[in-house]
Amino acid sequence: MEISRDKFKHIGINEEKSQAIVRPSMTYWQDAWRRLKKNKIAIASLFFIFIMSLMAVVGPMMVKFQYNDNNLMLGIFKPNAEHWFGTDGLGRDMWARVWIGARISLFIGLMAALIETTIGIVVGGIAGFFGGKIDMFIMRFIDILIAIPFLIFVILIMVIVGSGVFSIILAFSITGWLGMARLVRGQILQLKEQEFVLAARTLGADSMRLIFKHLIPNTLGVIIVTLTMAIPQAIFTEAFLSFIGIGVRPPMTSWGQLANSGAQAMQVQPFLLLIPAIFISLTMLSLNMLGDGLRDALDPRLRK
């Protein structure tokens, strides 16, 4: 079938429009935020975490009861108009205790995760970049620490420093960075011989600039996902320590301590366990979903 050329019109080339920049210029973080906003689940998770953090600050102020006010005559009450989450076995208001517990659990999880991530990035980046004897020494030291059970570190710290929030964070900081260091080291080993690193080295970049300016940003996706997983892991570990009696000191409370107390009365008043368990589960789910969204937004290799 033959097509006549008369049906087509030559429109020419507009040199000015062809040279125009269609996409607006933006920084790396602006582009990451633009990509993150397209992920509705990640944004919903971020909003939930923000609400939880806000309630941890203002939640205890919304009721007239203090988290440590005992009323043995009151006993256990189910949720009602006066005690929104009910009361525990000592007559303490569960609403105030849940949000004080959220404050302590989120603080422990966030601080422990940030400290162990920072140490892991520095140590893993140095080991992976320099290699050789430095890498050998660091990795063997990590292997020795991994071989020692975490609970032994915790017990030693509790004996020396005493139990409390600071002791728990210190215990996480001593051993929590080991997995992050090995992860970052593996990523650095894959990236350090690529062309952009060789180009930066040719232009005169020193070792520290190569590690923290060029290599670490290209591992942010994996780091962010691991970081978001470290926060709920720290919360659950704190719950375990509270269960065996070396966690947060009473009358201060946390989600783990509330879950431990609720487990003892689950057959009688299950809401004492269900309330902190629901908050722990939703927080973990939100952090996981946010971590997946941040991985997709921050990893340059996933850009289209």
pLDDT tens for 187-207 read 888 888 888 888 888 888 788
Q: Identify whether 69 is part of a domain.
A: no
Q: In Å, what is the CA distance from 120 to each residue of 150, 222, 223, 266, 290? A: 17, 13, 10, 40, 21
Tokens 């909003």 — which residue? 47
Angle at CA of residue 159, ends 157 and 165, nearest 5°: 55
What percent of the chain shows pLDDT beyond 90?
9
Q: Identify whether 144 is part of a domain.
A: yes
Q: How many domains does the chain have?
A: 1
Contact 279, 102 (CB under 8 A): yes
Q: Identify whether 47 is part of a domain.
A: yes
pLDDT score of 50? 92
Angle at CA of residue 299, ends 296 and 303, nearest 5°: 75
Q: Is the pLDDT of residue 5 over 80?
A: no
Residue 243 is part of which domain span?
A: 35-63+84-302
Q: Identify whether 175 is part of a domain.
A: yes
pLDDT score of 43? 92
Range 14-38 average pLDDT: 69
Q: Identify whether 217 is part of a domain.
A: yes
H or E element, residue 298: helix 271-298
H or E element, residue 94: helix 94-130
pLDDT score of 15? 61
Q: Identify whether 10 is part of a domain.
A: no
Angle at CA of residue 290, ends 289 and 295, nearest 5°: 100
With a CB cutoff of 8 Å and minimum separation 6, the contacts of 1 are none
Crossing angle of the two packed helices 255-264 and 94-130, in degrees rounded to 10: 130
Q: In Å, what is the CA distance from 180 to each residue of 55, 89, 141, 175, 240? A: 30, 41, 14, 10, 22
Tokens 């970081």 — which residue? 227
pLDDT digits (tens, 9 = 90+) for 207-243: 888 888 888 888 877 888 788 778 878 877 877 777 6
Q: Identify whether 44 is part of a domain.
A: yes
Is-cis flag, bond preceding 79, omega within 30? no
pLDDT digits (tens, 9 = 90+) for 123-172: 998 998 888 889 999 999 998 888 888 778 777 887 787 777 888 888 88
pLDDT score of 136? 92
pTM of the full structure: 0.79
pLDDT score of 123? 92
Angle at CA of residue 297, ends 292 and 303, nearest 5°: 120
Query: Amino acid identity of 243?
Result: F
Q: Is the pLDDT of residue 47 over 90?
A: yes
State the CATH number of the domain containing residue 171: 1.10.3720.10
Q: Identify whether 129 is part of a domain.
A: yes
